[in-house]
Homo-oligomer: A and B are copies of this chain.
Amino acid sequence: MKKNKYCYEYPRPSVVVDCVVFGLDDDLLKVLLIRRDRDPFAGRWALPGGFVDMDEPLESAALRELKEETGVGDLFLEQLYTFGDPHRDPRGRVISVAYYALVKLSDHKPVAADDARDAEWVDVKQATKLAFDHDTVLKTALDRLRAKVRYQPIGFELLPAKFTLTQLQSLYETILGQPIDKRNFRRKILAMSLLTELPETQQQVAHRAARLYRFDRQRYRQLVKAGFNFEV
């Protein structure tokens, strides 16, 4: 006896949040997908997401869904776009507020076979034929990530806390899909003075060990306030 308790004078759409979660697995950019076990689109991959509670801000809803799927708390999260085509969900009018997130896949390693949900990290190039309009959502997120990474240092969110300059460069090359000159890249990145050189080097590599750096978030905030910009 819990059906149809909530009645309104005019019809209302459902509102969901969907999350495009990016992670970097070696040199592959991956996205977190969920295998749907019921119709519509049973058996197809979909973006994690769910309904927004009535007393819950949109961003909190996105965070909640993410924690349920990935267990990850500390991450970069930003609103992407709102998709509202009347027929994007065959069950009825569902408006989706999409977010995209960047997680340090390397730190929180609980990758596949989570929480009883069939969640998996999939190479973005393989992630096609998704449920609903999620192909479009993913493409929008990728475009945004590519555009944003050029003028804001968000790439660090995908790397472990300590990383080498080569890792960082390779990340940019992966996201932007084009090779970058090593010397020019290093000069430019270091000129931003957002990186702190650590007294440590890489361990257990079969060649000269590279210096480790960390991203100096505090300094970044200062520079943003001072009106700096950060093109790569």
Please list the residues of chain A having a beta carbon within 8 angstroms of any beta carbon in chain B. Answer: 2-15, 51-52, 54-58, 79, 81-82, 84-86, 93, 95, 97
Contact = CB atoms under 8 A, between A and B. Distances in A.
Contacts of A82: 58, 79, 82, 97
Contacts of A86: 54-57
Nearest to A13: B15
Contact of A95 (B9, B15, B51, B93): B15
Nearest to A83: B58
Given A79-B82, A97-B82, A54 B8 contact: no
* Among all A-B residue pairs, the 10 with the closest Cβ atoms: A58-B84, A4-B7, A12-B12, A7-B7, A6-B11, A82-B82, A11-B54, A6-B8, A82-B97, A55-B86
A182 to B, nearest CB: 24
Contacts of A81: 79
Nearest to A4: B7
A3 B12 contact: no
A53 to B, nearest CB: 9
A54 B93 contact: yes
This chain's copy number in the assembly: 2
7 contacts: A6-B8, A7-B7, A10-B51, A13-B15, A57-B84, A84-B97, A95-B97
A14 B52 CA distance: 12
A12 B4 contact: no
A2 B6 contact: no
Nearest to A3: B9
A10 B79 CA distance: 25
A126 B99 CA distance: 33
A101 B58 CA distance: 24
B9 A12 contact: no
A99 to B, nearest CB: 10
A87 to B, nearest CB: 9
Contacts of A56: 86
A230 to B, nearest CB: 14
Given A56-B86, A84-B57, A9 B2 contact: yes
A168 B159 CA distance: 43
A165 to B, nearest CB: 27
